[in-house]
Amino acid sequence: MLDQTNNMLGQIGDLLSQVTARASADDVGGPGQEIEAVIHLNADAADRIMEAAEQISYCMDVDGVPAEVRFTVLNRVTDIFEACGFQDLTGQRIQHALKTLRTIEESMLGRKVTDAAPHGKIDQAFADSVIAGRDAA
């Protein structure tokens, strides 16, 4: 019975490894790393969106912009900031879930999962090539 339990735990740990494991700090493979890369790319995109929205709001401070237009545009800019804030919270929750999976894997199997920063090797050109379906190498 103990052998069966250990075998089952090993299989569960191997499944977790498929999501969380990194072969090395330079490795950019594995679903967990891909998820982290998406989180970082989304955060970068949200930052650019918020910077653009901020610039739009500054444009509303010039003379000659009708009050109704200013009110409408500034309300929409606020909506953009709120949506980008939601994106940030979503990314944090996903990272927390990945960290929990890594902790489970480490405690079950006694393996340390390397916690590299995948966005160091993944840039916009890489993301564009993935979206276009080309080999990023």
Domain residue limits, the chain: 2-20+32-132
Token pair in block for residue 94: 């996903």
Per-residue tens of pLDDT for the chain, all 137 residues: 777 776 776 667 666 666 555 544 455 456 677 777 888 888 888 889 999 999 999 999 888 999 999 999 999 999 999 988 888 888 888 888 888 877 776 776 666 655 444 445 555 666 666 566 654 44
Contact 76, 63 (CB under 8 A): no
Contact 17, 45 (CB under 8 A): no
Q: What is the DSSP string of 65-89?
A: --HHHHHHHHHHHHHHHHHHHHHHH
Q: Which of 30, 35, 37 is nearest to 120 (CA)?
A: 37
